Chain A
Amino acid sequence: DAKTTQPNSMESNEEEPVHLPCNHSTISGTDYIHWYRQLPSQGPEYVIHGLTSNVNNRMASLAIAEDRKSSTLILHRATLRDAAVYYCILRDRSGGGADGLTFGKGTHLIIQP
C-alpha cells in the first residue's frame, strides 16, 4: 500500500465540524482512498472510501483533491463519540486481492465538550 501522512493529533469542539487531512503524494491512478477509525477499546471500523469524486455517507464526507495527492475526511458535527484514531489508507484497485490493510499511526482526534 502506498504511504499516507496524517497529523498525529487534532482537537475539536463538540458539535463543530472536523476536517481531518491526509497527504498521499505518491498515490497511483488505481488506488482507492479508505478511512477507518478506532474507538477506544474497540476494533477498527470502516468509515468511508473514494476514488476520484467526493463521497458522502451517514458517517462522514470525503473530499478528494483534484490531483488526488491529498484528501480530507469531514465529520459535519462532531460528538464525543467521534473521539477516536482515524486512519487514512490507500488500497490498490488493480490488486484488490486478499491482502490486508496496512495501518499507520493515524490521527488521534480529541473532542472537547
Chain B
Amino acid sequence: EPEVTQTPSHQVTQMGQEVILRCVPISNHLYFYWYRQILGQKVEFLVSFYNNEISEKSEIFDDQFSVERPDGSNFTLKIRSTKLEDSAMYFCASRLSYRANSPLHFGNGTRLTVT
C-alpha cells in the first residue's frame, strides 16, 4: 500500500539554525499538509498546500515557516531560525481529493530537537 515517507526520522539542531524537513507524499495525491505535535500535546495543524500554493495556515505557521514542492515528488517544511519551542514531532500528510470524505494519509514524522 502506498505511504507517505518522511526524512529524516530525527533531526537535532541548534537554536537559530535553519532546518528543512522532507516528505514524499503519495504519488497521485493533490493536497499536502504539515502538522506538529509537541510532546504530550495534541496534533496541531500548521499548513495545507494545493496547486503549488498555500491553501490555509494556522497561527503557528508564522514568517519563520515556509513550505515548498520543489519537484513532482517532494514536499518540504523549512524553519528559518529555529527556537527551543519548535522542538516537536512534525507530520506530513497528503490526500487525494478535496472532498470531505477523502482521508488524510500521514507519515511517521520527523522528531525535531532544538538545543
Contacts and interface: CB of A to CB of B under 8 A. Distances in A.
Interface of A: 32, 34, 36, 38, 41-46, 49, 51, 87, 91-105
A98 B50 contact: yes
- Which label, helix, strand, loop or mixed, suits the secondary structure of the B interface? strand
B19 to A, nearest CB: 19
A25 B42 CA distance: 22
Given A43-B109, A100-B35, A105-B42, 8 more contacts: A34-B103, A42-B108, A43-B107, A46-B105, A93-B100, A94-B100, A99-B56, A100-B104
A16 B98 CA distance: 37
Interface of B: 4, 31, 33, 35, 42-50, 55-56, 58, 91, 93, 98-109
5 contacts: A44-B43, A46-B103, A51-B101, A97-B98, A98-B55
Given A99-B48, A102-B45, A103-B42, A46 B104 contact: yes
A101 B104 contact: yes
Given A43-B93, A44-B43, A105-B42, A91 B100 contact: yes
A34 B95 CA distance: 14
A71 to B, nearest CB: 15
In the A-B complex, list the 9 residue pairs whose CB atoms are closest, starting with the nearest: A43-B106, A98-B55, A100-B45, A46-B103, A103-B43, A91-B100, A96-B100, A98-B48, A93-B100
Contacts of A102: 45
A45 B106 CA distance: 6
A43 B48 CA distance: 17
A51 B100 CA distance: 11
Contacts of B109: 42-43
Given A44-B43, A46-B103, A46-B105, A100 B98 contact: no
